[in-house]
Amino acid sequence: MIILLLVTGTLCGESKDMFKFRKSTLAKFNDARRILASGDISKLLKPFQSIPQLKKMSLLKDNILGPAANMYKLKWNRQLEQLGYEYMKGKQFSVGDMDKTLEYKEHLGFIWLGDIFTVVKQILNFLPLDALKQSMNDFLSMLETLIIALWMAWKAPKSWPIKKGEHFAPAEALFAARHDIGCFSNLYYSVCFVEKIEYQETTFKVGVPCTSCPTHCEFWTKSDDSIEEGELCVAPKGDATAENFAEVAGFITSLFLTAFIYLFVFVRR
């Protein structure tokens, strides 16, 4: 019985950590997409258009870094997470690998930082003041989101139309038509995968954020009950969501079934 409790406790602990990783990683990639969809990076680059040598650059001229009118909000896909786990198994990565596009089982992927920020946050827990700890945690989360946005922007196509068969490592997560992502991580590196999509001439449709959604715009209800629209389109409901739910339900069922069998054997003794 003690062994059962220890095993169950360990599984629950690991599941909780993995749930936090999924939630945090998904939030950061969506926040990075919002930064790009809003056109904020393009606005920061506007002053450079006055420099004659840079004025004709497609990166500045064609709004390649936003704003985006049709960019989906990403949702987590457990099948893509599993691909990350399979690809990472038994492999060693280096910083140079973060520049490469991964191709595995008809999917595209890339390598990102691991749980280093989580480790730093755990170290910050030793700080004496709760307010200071929260401020530092918020700063680190914002910093990681900004790094993701700049990293995707750096690897984005430098001109449109995009050449067929060309891939862009982390900037694959910049294509507006994509709405699924899944990652697996160790301390140092994460491996993320996205679904392959049909050839796109551009990464997104240039325009006011969330004005060309095939679905509808994300929104929030504010404290005064007013509605605020965001920059991303709500992802279409697909089979992945149902499969993810079924997988989680299956895991919970098998966990309780195992616990019941062990308990039954223990009582019989």
Residue 6, both tokens = 């220890």
Phi/psi region, residue 106 (left: phi>0; alpha: psi -120 to 50; beta: rest), is left
pTM for the complete prediction? 0.78
* pLDDT tens digits, one per residue of 136-169: 777 778 888 998 999 999 999 999 999 999 999 9
Going from N- to C-terminal start, the domains of the chain cover 2-236
- The reported pLDDT for the residue numbered 235 is 94
Residue 196: what pLDDT?
95
What pLDDT score does 165 carry?
94
Average pLDDT of every residue of the chain? 81
CA distance 215 to 72: 9
CA–CA distances in Å: residue 263 to residues 11, 191, 253, 258, 260: 17, 38, 15, 9, 5
39: which 2 tokens?
């056109």
**Secondary structure (3-state) at 71:** coil
Place of tokens 């679905």: 215
Return the pLDDT at 206.
96
Mean pLDDT along residues 241-252: 45
Are 203 and 177 in contact by the 8 Å Cβ rule? The answer is no
- Band (pLDDT 50/70/90 cuts) for residue 261 is very low
Cβ atoms of 87 and 106 within 8 Å: the answer is no
pLDDT at res. 252: 47
pLDDT given for residue 132 in this prediction:
62
Overall fold of domain 2-236: Pathogenesis-related Protein p14a (3.40.33)
**131 Ramachandran zone, left/alpha/beta (phi>0; psi -120 to 50):** alpha
Please report which confidence band the pLDDT of residue 11 belongs to, taking 50, 70 and 90 as the band edges.
very low
Of 227 and 200, more confident:
200
pLDDT at 249 over 50: no
In sign, the C-alpha dihedral spanning 142, 122, 252, 83 is positive
Per-residue model confidence (pLDDT) at position 251? 42
pLDDT at 34 over 70: yes
* Close Cβ partners of 233 (under 8 Å, ≥ 6 residues apart): 70, 71, 72, 73, 210, 213, 214, 215, 216, 217, 218
